[in-house]
Amino acid sequence: MTLLVPPEASAPHGYGSDADYDPFPDELKPASELVAATGLNIVIFGQPGCGKTTLIGTATEHPQGRDVVIADFDNGLKSLRDRADIRGWPMNSFDEAVKLYSYLTTKRHPFRTIGLDSLSEAYRIQMTDVLRNPQRKNTRLSPDQNDYGEANEGIIRMARAFKDLAITHGYNIVMTAHQREDQDATTGAVLIRPSLTPGALLGVVGAVDALGYLRIKNGQRELLLQEQGNILAKYRQPRSGPQLPLVIQNPSLGPIIAHLRGEYVPEIAEAPRADPQEIAEAAKS
């Protein structure tokens, strides 16, 4: 095996002579520049009817959110039947997801926001494909550990492939999932999380920058972006500058996209910082 051996260091930092000093090669970009060119990538989960699919459509409120195409695994675009500006791509199999990805990466098109609705149903379709595979060793109808592993890997690969489009193409990638409640047998505590297997959940949540819990509270939609108590959620943002509220009433993706791109958003810049205790109480209610 050949080992890569660095040249003898002749400078305080790195290798080579002073003539080789190159502080900023073209590959190095300021973090602020890289983030501004990255699209939103988020998983939004909640109960049926809470408005997850409708929320995807609000991306059109920002110029960099138009147009919208939704990979329709759930056959659930009825809430957008009044939106002729939003396109749906029926997903009857994983092959359709591959076709959509190929279209987005090889053809000229108007879409800036891609929705995957939902990962929970996509997982069911993936598992069906796994069980129908003629090369499958297990002949039983019920899945075994290998089947779950293959289905997990398939859904994670899909989520990561589309998420990477937020980095390589600047697209907004909005994935949804159904809600699941797991009760701890020892403590009795109930964890509210996306409805995916633990293996798939770990891979998908680790890939995206944001995980939001959407619910209806007092007749209004509310989006939680910070894990509190029994609710799984997250949002990656810098410590300084205007902070995106971690509890958003009547959310819209337009201002969130603007905030991500470093634009001034009055309702965000002028919003009071949320108190962690208040967020915790909101999550419990």
Per-residue DSSP letter, 180: E
* Residue-level pLDDT at 133: 82
Structural domain contains residue 65: yes
CA distance linking residue 209 with residue 22, whole number of Å: 32
Structural domain contains residue 265: yes
Structural domain contains residue 115: yes
* Residue-level pLDDT at 196: 96
Q: Which long-range contacts (CB under 8 A, 24 or more apart) does 124-132 make?
A: 125/73, 125/91, 125/92, 125/93, 125/94, 126/94, 126/151, 126/154, 126/155, 126/158, 127/151, 129/93, 129/94, 129/154, 130/154
CATH of the domain at 52: 3.40.50.300
Structural domain contains residue 98: yes
* Residue-level pLDDT at 111: 94
What pTM did the predictor assign? 0.82
| Mean pLDDT in consecutive groups of 10 residues from the start of the chain, 285 residues | 52 55 60 64 95 94 92 86 88 92 94 95 92 78 88 94 93 96 84 94 94 93 89 84 84 91 72 53 51
Structural domain contains residue 24: no
Domain that holds residue 237: 36-284
Structural domain contains residue 26: no
CA distance linking residue 88 with residue 30, whole number of Å: 36
Count: domains in the chain: 1
Query: Is residue 89 classed exposed, middle or buried when 0-12, 13-18 and 19+ CB atoms within 10 A define those classes?
Result: middle
* Residue-level pLDDT at 178: 96
Structural domain contains residue 228: yes
Sign of CA dihedral 102, 106, 107, 111: positive
Sign of CA dihedral 121, 178, 252, 202: negative
Structural domain contains residue 70: yes
